[in-house]
Amino acid sequence: MVCCRICLICIISLAVFLPDALFNEVFAVSAKERSLFQRSIIDYRKHLNPKYKKNVRKETKYIIVHTSEGGLQSTLKTVSGGKLTHNGNRTFGGHAHYVIARDGRTFRILDKKYIADHAGRSMWNGETNLSRVSIGIEIVGYHYDSITGQQYRSVNNLIKILQRIYNLNDRAVLTHSQVAYGKPNRWFQSDHRGRKRCAKNFDRRKAGLGPTWSYDPDVRAGRLTADKALAAIFYDSSAAAADVSEQNNVISKTNTAWAIAGEDYNSPQTLYKIPDGRIIAGDQIEKKIGWNRIAPNTVVLLNQQHLPEILAQTSPVKILSNGATAWSFAGREYNSRSTFYFLPSGTIADGTQISDWDDLPSQTRLIIGYKGPYAVNDSITAYRIAGHKYQDKHTIYYLPNHKVYTGNNVPDFSRLPTGTMVFLPAL
């Protein structure tokens, strides 16, 4: 096992030095593995919006990787059925060929021979509207979080298969944030990169890909203005391209709304959780606050099609419903040991025990920043566990009948059943 790990480390370290052809041989996917992976792909094509017009792609030049900026179910629903646009219109789906869940499961949304409407306003090396000449792969998750090892394994298999079919080299694999471009706005006076941020955390080496473009051809040619943050990630060899440790969805002096959300910064589906407790949609920020007055530590949430009132729940016990995910409430703490999930089945699990938080059932409850549980029994009372805060609204009680109460809502402490679990704030 030690030898295998050492060999793998050595192979990855060679990524910088190997030419494309040799690099691809090192990371070659066996015929057996390709066959097993292909048979495991889940056919989701029957869910495609019947109004989506299928057009056969005449040429395939690129494979474009996206992060979905949402959970699995919302991603599948959007790419298959359609989504609301900024102007209030609804699309007819067909927004990807494949979707890869956080546990590695891969879904076929649209036959690869058809054009998928996934790249939007895009340009690479002078060519625009890249949806016409590319395959689109959606990786479920967020550009300010890590892509899982299972996802990298699946995307490696999928990309190698597609490369073989369409005779594409590694330079043909790009991210949406590399190719999308925007029109002039408050941050840029001309056409520019940075319209999308998705997949800026995509680590090519973990996907088994070799060397790629060392520059943006459209910026070099003067067709577009560079986005400094993206340029540092993709083309600065001294930058940690896929290091997400400094990437997050929290506004600071250097991490602006644009740096987090790109063109979706003012979308009604982008929500801003202000430190004072308010939740404001992107299209209301200018009116209610002003873009230059957003407080530091404001949390930005993308693709929130459910009502902001859901996220404005004041109880420490949050409920997953109407498209809200664990990430919507907990952010990067979704997989923390101090985040606890109460599943409808009665199972209790902390964030480290959840293998795929996208598949958490509706009505799952969660608490963030807690320690425990501590069990109530004949000799250990709620008061002995929580002290004077046993009736506090931040003290959580999980009863054997699967009901969850905050301390200020427990009906009768004298009748608290043996086996009740108590959770206390970690700080």
pLDDT tens sequence across 321-341: 776 778 778 877 888 999 999
The pLDDT of residue 309 is: 60
Q: Which residues of the chain form CATH 3.40.80.10? A: 2-246
Q: CA torsion sign, 353 to 145 to 244 to 153?
A: positive
Question: Which single residue is written with the structure tokens 């646009």?
Answer: 85
State phi, psi for 161 to the nearest 5 degrees.
Answer: -65, -45
Question: What global pTM score does this model have?
Answer: 0.77
Indicate whether 24 pLDDT > 50. no
Phi, psi of 398 (to 5 degrees): -115, 115
Contact 255/271 with Cβ under 8 angstroms?
A: no
Which residues, in sequence order, are CB contacts of 312 under 8 Å at separation 6+? 277, 278, 279
Give the SS3 label for residue 266. Answer: helix
Residue 211, pLDDT > 60, answer yes
Sign of CA dihedral 22, 162, 140, 122: positive
pLDDT at residue 349, rounded to an integer: 93
Average pLDDT of the chain? 86
Residues 6+ apart with CB under 8 A from 151: 100, 101, 102, 104, 139, 140, 141
Give the largest CA-CA distance in the chain.
76
pLDDT, tens digit, for every residue of 367-416?
A: 999 999 999 998 999 999 999 999 999 999 999 999 999 999 999 998 89
CB neighbour burial string for 242-264, b if at least 16 within 10 angstroms, e if fewer: bebeebbbebeeebbbbbbbbbb
Mean pLDDT for 232-236 is 89
- Mean pLDDT confidence for 94-123: 96
CB 74 within 8 A of CB 95: no
Q: What are phi and psi of 296, to 5 degrees?
A: -55, 150
For domain 2-246, say whether CATH 3.30.70.20 is its number: no
Report the phi/psi class of residue 111: left, alpha or beta, with left for phi > 0 and alpha for psi in -120 to 50: beta
pLDDT tens for 77-103 read: 999 998 877 666 788 999 999 999 999
